[in-house]
Amino acid sequence: MSDGCQLSLLDCEDELLTIAGEVEIAHFLEASSMVVKGTYDLSLVEGSITTPRDIERIQQIRRASKRLVTIGACATAGGIQALRNFQDIDEYLSIVYATPHYISTLSTSTPIAQHVPVDFELQGCPINKQQLLEVIHAFLHQRKPDIPAYSVCVECKLRGTVCVMVAHGTPCLGPITHAGCGAICPAYRRGCYGCFGPQETPNMVSLSKHLSQLGVSQSGRRRVLQTFNAYAKPFRQESMSYENENNQD
């Protein structure tokens, strides 16, 4: 679990003042030690499910919440800690910890939606604060959040950024990545590395083929897909298809 998404919410301090009259914050230990008992109108949950205790807590939160929104790559895709899902967790424990039997953990790190019904998932590592405010506004007024499902490429076009992949041959995950950051990396002539996770309809095969034509090996493509959103279904399936191929690189 990371605090980055909670900090995004704290970073909204000016904007939150404009809706302060409409909300009462009930349980947000990063901001206040005060805890109000449920039922809650809207619960924003970050972090993945990595321990048996997490499973109990998320079920309690779901029961106490009319609406549940997950925020960030950990909550929506399992986060960077989901890299364990591709390996043997017991082997890691024995290498990393002097007394591994003190560690109580699941063998996988999984998204919240794999355990309880979720009303909306807001992607990003960390999330975009304007998108978070839009989600809060939308649920306050009982409408669907206006969060675009298109790719980072569209954001590139909207801000007039020259495509680094076409112009410079720089590998970029923008075509398969969810919008939300405003295409920051290409604006600084860097390729996108997918921190907002998969867009709604990513063409994984096409991008993989293009990266291959740019000289990115199978192991290189696997490495760029297995980061913050490694366990998001399209990224996971594509990266695992490389591992299953006999003819590597």
User: Is 192 one of the binding residues for ligand SF4 (CB under 6 A)?
Assistant: yes
Task: Determine the Cα–Cα distance for residues 114 and 105; give it in Å rounded to an integer.
Answer: 17
Is the CA virtual torsion 61, 67, 69, 75 positive or negative?
A: positive
Distance in angstroms (rounded) separating the CA atoms of residues 120 and 217: 36
Site string for ligand SF4, 62-101 (x = CB under 6 A): ----------------------------------------
Report the alpha-carbon distance of residue 64 to residue 87 in Å, rounded: 35
Contacting ligand SF4 (CB under 6 A), which of 69, 73, 153, 225?
153
Binder to ligand SF4 among 110, 177, 229, 239 (CB under 6 A)? Answer: 177
Q: Does 193 bind ligand SF4 (CB under 6 A)?
A: yes
Query: Considering only residues 195, 224, 230, 232, which one is a binding residue for ligand SF4 as defined by CB under 6 A?
Result: 195
Taking CB under 6 A as the criterion, the residue among 116, 156, 224, 225 binding ligand SF4 is 156
Which residues from 113-132 bind ligand SF4, rule CB under 6 A?
Answer: none
The stretches of the chain forming alpha helices (DSSP H) are: 4-10, 13-19, 52-64, 72-77, 89-96, 129-140, 152-159, 164-168, 184-187, 204-213, 218-225, 233-244
Per-residue HEC secondary structure of 184-197 comes to HHHHCCCCCCCCCC
The one-letter amino acid code at 6 reads Q
* Minimum CB distance to ligand SF4, residue 2 (Å): 15
# residues near ligand SF4 by CB under 6 A = 21
Determine the Cα–Cα distance for residues 27 and 41; give it in Å rounded to an integer.
Answer: 12
The answer to whether residue 163 forms part of the interface with ligand SF4 (CB under 6 A) is yes
- Report the residue number, 111 or 174, with the smaller CB distance to ligand SF4: 174
Stretch binding ligand SF4 (CB under 6 A), from 42-50, 77-85, 187-195, 212-220: 187-195
Question: The tokens of 166 are what?
Answer: 């076409």
Nearer to ligand SF4, 54 or 238 (CB): 238
Q: Which residues bind ligand SF4 (CB under 6 A)?
A: 152-153, 156, 161, 163-165, 172, 174-175, 177, 181, 183-186, 192-196
